Amino acid sequence: MQSDDVPNRGQVQTLTAYVLDLELEVDRLRRRDQFLEQEAWDHVRQILRLCRSAAPEDAADRLAAVAETCGPFSELLHDLNDSPLPACDQVVDIAVRPLAEQAFRWQQRLSGANRAALRLDLEPEHVKWFPARLRHIIDNLFSNALRFRDPGKGEIRVGLMLRAKRDSYELQVTDNGLGMSSDQAQHALELSHRAAPDRAAGLGVGLAVVKLLVEQCCGSISLTSGEGQGTCAAISLPKYDVDDHVG
């Protein structure tokens, strides 16, 4: 291979960032489809039970019950109906509110935290950034907040604050969940770290993924938390121009 054919470090970093975005998107879609398949079968089983238990003369009541059963699944399909995104490595103008609301509803369903409340404090409402990457960042932060919610607290609260500065967007996601000790917070952004082995199966790598996505775009992330006091993830994202690309 000639030296001109060998990719330089910048090209490798750009390709790595692009591949990571694609892998995360494929994984997100795979989990979404698995969740939808399970929900679909659950609703089919409910409908079959209704059909078998009703007498023939109760056809009208049976149809009404079937329609009521199908309602939540119809709402689920609507919630998870993603709008088409441009190439994931291209900067576009993004409406943050609908993106955040859909990501939150998705994580609510996955975690079973149906009573959780999202508070949005967005200034501005639109940002010029990488749409798929921003969705993965917000998605992982919401996932972390809802997975580690505190069942002893009556209300589950998650907040997303967005501010625009001269050269960056400042984003914060806060929650009133279990939180973690200062030592755990110090290491929570490491890929191999697992904040609480007894909380859930699998590696808790959501925050580490966020750190990787942010730093690949020359941003920064910090984490503050306290046991029983919830967690705050503060992120600084550099501004880009529309039509800029990863790298």
- The domain that holds 227 is classified in CATH as 3.30.565.10
Task: Assess whether 27 and 132 both reside in one domain.
Answer: no
87 domain residue, yes or no: no
Task: Assess whether 52 and 142 both reside in one domain.
Answer: no
Asked whether the CA dihedral 22, 86, 166, 161 is positive or negative, the reply is negative
How far is residue 104's CA from residue 116's CA, in Å, rounded to a whole number? 9
Task: Assess whether 105 and 194 both reside in one domain.
Answer: yes
Task: Assess whether 50 and 113 both reside in one domain.
Answer: no
* Domain range for 181: 92-238
For residue 108, pLDDT over 70 is answered with yes
Q: How many CB atoms lie within 10 A of CB 36?
A: 14
212 domain residue, yes or no: yes
Over residues 156-171, the mean pLDDT reads 96
Task: Assess whether 230 and 114 both reside in one domain.
Answer: yes
Task: Assess whether 119 and 98 both reside in one domain.
Answer: yes
Structure tokens given for 102: 């859909």
Q: How many domains does the chain have?
A: 2
1 domain residue, yes or no: no
For residue 193, pLDDT over 50 is answered with no
Please, which pLDDT band fits residue 202 given cuts at 50, 70 and 90?
very low
CA terminus-to-terminus distance, the chain:
24
85 domain residue, yes or no: no
Task: Give the end of a domain, one of 79, 106, 135.
Answer: 79
Q: How many CB atoms lie within 10 A of CB 227?
A: 12
246 domain residue, yes or no: no
Is the backbone of residue 230 left (phi > 0), alpha (psi -120 to 50) or beta? left
Task: Give the end of a domain, one of 23, 46, 79.
Answer: 79
Model confidence over 33-55: pLDDT tens digits?
A: 666 777 677 767 777 777 776 56
Task: Give the end of a domain, one of 44, 79, 114.
Answer: 79
- Strand 168-175 and strand 157-164: the pairing is antiparallel
Task: Assess whether 151 and 113 both reside in one domain.
Answer: yes
Does the pTM surpass 0.75? The reply is no
Task: Assess whether 153 and 37 both reside in one domain.
Answer: no
